[in-house]
Amino acid sequence: MILVKLFFVFAKIGLFSFGGGYAMIPLIQKEIERNGWMSAAEFINIIAIAEMTPGPIAVNSATFVGYKTAGIIGGIIATIGVALPSMVLILLVAELILKNNEHPLKVSVFSVLRPIVTALILAAAFVVAKTSILTIPAGNIDLSAIIQIPLRFIDLKSAAIAGLSVIAVTVLKLHPILTIVLAGGLGIVGFGGFF
């Protein structure tokens, strides 16, 4: 039964997620939490691993979640579930889109989808930041305490690594893989008790 559920949950994610893997992250997280397959912290660790391994983040995430939930077969089923809807849709509409590249309806649909995808990617960034950089306790959040002493709720080491990574990629134009390796090394040193 869990294999069928994994397939249909990830098929739904694959069918209704527009904008690529990063835009899928909030939907994947919501489904994982709704089904009780893993905690938010475990999910963020999976996102980190999925980002560092070759392949699309959504497929890698589905594989990891499926494996954690139901072993190797679960990983295979979740991967097929998330990839199948996109593959079928692309095969059905690719020629239509290519033939009608300048059609006003296509242009207007894509102009509406871009801001939605941007919002989904920002939501994914917030989900990752909330778990990996912010230390806001679960349950009732005292907004006045957060406003009065915001640094109390920020993991400064994680925030520093995130900030340096953004600078490395955007300002210094370092390759993302090199940035990941350097940030990983900095994380090992920072969280290993060396500073």
Query: Residue 174: what pLDDT?
Result: 93
Over residues 97-145, the pLDDT tens digits come to 777 777 888 788 888 888 888 887 888 788 777 777 877 665 556 666 6
Tokens of 191: 């969280």
Mean pLDDT of 34-45: 86
Quick one: tokens of 59? 């497929």
For 61-106, how does the pLDDT look when each residue is reduced to its tens digit (9 = 90+)? 899 999 999 999 999 999 999 999 988 888 888 877 777 777 888 7
